[in-house]
Amino acid sequence: MGFSEPEKQLLADFWHCDDVAAQKGLAAIDMFDAVADGRIKAIWIMGTNPVVSLPNSDKVAKALADCPFVVVSEVIPDTDTAKLADVLLPAQGWSEKCGTVTNSERTITRQRGFAKPKGQAKPDWWAVSQVATKMGFEGFSFADSAAVFKEHAQLSSKVTQTFPYKRFDLSGLTQLSPQAYDDLPPTQWPVKDASQIGQANTRVFTDGQFATHSGKAQFIKTKLVDLELATTERMATASVLLLNSGRSRDQWHTMTRTGHIASLRASIPEPQISVNPTQLGILGLKPFQLVKIKSASERLSAFTAARVIADGDIPVNQAFMSMHWSQQFSLTRGVNQAISAAFDPVSQQAAFKCQPVALSPLHLSLQGVVFGLHDSEAGGLCWQVPQKLTNGVCHHIGFEHDHDGFAHQPSPHVLTWTMTLTTQICADQILHIQCHQEKGVLASLKILSDKPVLVALEPMQSFVGQVLDRKLIQQIHAQIRAGNSPLVCACTGVSEADISNEISRQFDHQLMQSGIDQLDFNAALDKTQSSLGCGRQCGSCNSEVKQCATRGWQDALSFVVEHDAQQTTSAKEGAA
């Protein structure tokens, strides 16, 4: 509905009230500007984590910290936003709540809670109704979500009766009994009568009429707004890139739930920024190096940090970083504190996809990972990312000064040594290893270096709690030398190395059985996935599995072709 006098009157009559909104409210960025300057003195936040998800998030955090009264409804008590609440209300999670969900192609689906709500957790509609009633408002005596939905459907029916050109119509759902509501099958709106319950694959606007007074589409003439992007002098600076922020495969929103699941954290354990390899050369950066990401705007001083990943799919002069990270999971917090609050003036959508940022090295004397006992408040930490593992938590850490690296001693019984090995980072990388024991067992294992430490996290974590003896130290050494292979399939725990080894085995089998002319990559890929299970569970990693298998297949094929060419050359030289 809009804000015309007839529309406002309809709503006032339907709700039996004299006062309804005369204009739309503030969009998210404008709303927190109003909180910051004191125009809004009380705010109730539901179902979102704005301290992480909004741009210029430092400003959002300060606005909430200074706001006289902040209420947050949450299922997780330690989100960045929840920590700023004056009143924290326990909300129900998706598995606990009951209601409906409508997707982008208009299908209404019943959401039925299947887990018993914990503690005093309540649905949002109940909390709002209770507060409204206590404030003296009438019409909020809903018994359940079915009653809320019924009013929703009745209002839609009244609107389409008065304004026939509007298309959202749930008239056919206004008389649902509690049982019929509970049994409601997925249904696409508009639902003009009960006979349409369960309908699917319907289309609107097939009559050539749009949902406007005239029935015609309305185009909006827009103005080109200078967001200080590619046209500015700053973009000509080699260190400035156009940042696109978005989602990573295994995480959801600000990681408040998925960030605590070991299998989902395994694929991307630390904040990463993906940059084209050519661009890395221009910037003088190396893969896996830690960098600061700061807005190219001189008005913002905050920065975040991430580990650089070389990605040939990213265009030169651009970069991509996940939007999921926050102070809850990273000492340097998330990407949104390093971008401006510029937004489109029509849609009010923030410019998350096109922000000019400057990259610079984050200089560390020591960096690495610690398993077991760890002081997250230890002095000198300038990089810290806790990661949930199957049996415990490890911490990716970094220090500006050498002496801070081993300053924290969780126990008086300590064993420290160094080892040198060749890794994918460099030849002759020096690793500093420190073990702490309590009552004869390993309580803490810290591995630091002046370069990134790449080890298999789950196997290293499994050493914690074991008897610290010569045999265990040998096992630790062997595991460190084995290195680490990135996880591809979160469902099965399959890594790049697993896929590469299996596709090579399938290649060798076909080569021996049928010869090089009969090689079949698709058949080998199918057998690889059947053998390992990768891409056969949720399917979200299918493209990555195929990419990894393709690289392994091409490497094997190149080796055979080159070997055959050398054999042919040698034979010709012998004949000559």
Mean pLDDT, to the nearest integer, of 514-535? 93
Top CATH class, 5-196: alpha beta
| Owner of token pair 């298999």 | 456
132: left (phi over 0), alpha (psi -120 to 50) or beta: alpha
Comparing 76-80, 157-161, 393-397, the range with the smallest average pLDDT is: 76-80
State how far the Cα of 308 lies from the Cα of 452, in Å rounded to an integer: 11
Across the chain, mean pLDDT equals: 90
Angle between helix axes 542-575 and 496-514 (nearest 10 degrees) is 50
List the beta bridge partners of residue 88.
Answer: 72
Cβ pair 362, 291 in contact under 8 A: yes
> In this predicted structure, what is the pLDDT of residue 230?
45
Q: Residues 6 or more apart from 181 whose CB is under 8 A from it?
A: 110, 146, 149, 150
State how far the Cα of 185 lies from the Cα of 197, in Å rounded to an integer: 7
Confidence tier at 227 by pLDDT (50, 70, 90) = low
With CA atoms as reference, report the closest residue to 350 among 14, 60, 552, 36: 60
**pLDDT > 90 in the chain, percent:** 73
With CA atoms as reference, report the closest residue to 76 among 111, 43, 101, 49: 49
Question: Both ends of the chain: CA-CA distance in Å?
Answer: 89
Confidence tier at 297 by pLDDT (50, 70, 90) = confident
Confidence tier at 343 by pLDDT (50, 70, 90) = confident
Q: Is the pLDDT of residue 6 over 80?
A: yes
With CA atoms as reference, report the closest residue to 337 among 76, 80, 78, 75: 80
Confidence tier at 239 by pLDDT (50, 70, 90) = confident
State how far the Cα of 135 lies from the Cα of 185, in Å rounded to an integer: 37
**Largest CA-CA distance found in the chain, in angstroms, rounded:** 104
Mapping DSSP to helix (H, G, I), strand (E, B) and coil, where does residue 513 land? Answer: helix
State how far the Cα of 497 lies from the Cα of 560, in Å rounded to an integer: 20
What's phi and psi for 158, nearest 5 deg? -65, -40
Q: Is the pLDDT of residue 218 over 70?
A: yes
Q: Could you read off the pLDDT of 10-24 as tens digits, one per residue?
A: 999 999 998 899 999
Residues of the chain with CATH 3.40.50.740: 5-196
Mean pLDDT, to the nearest integer, of 133-145? 94
> In this predicted structure, what is the pLDDT of residue 365?
95
Q: Residues 6 or more apart from 95 whose CB is under 8 A from it?
A: 113, 114, 115
> In this predicted structure, what is the pLDDT of residue 570?
59
Buried b (16+ CB within 10 A) or exposed e, 322-339: bbbbbbbbbbbbbbbbbb
State how far the Cα of 536 lies from the Cα of 542, in Å rounded to an integer: 8
State how far the Cα of 276 lies from the Cα of 274, in Å rounded to an integer: 7
Helix (H) and strand (E) counts for the chain? Answer: 15, 20
More confident residue, 86 or 379: 86
Rg of the chain on CA atoms, in Å: 29
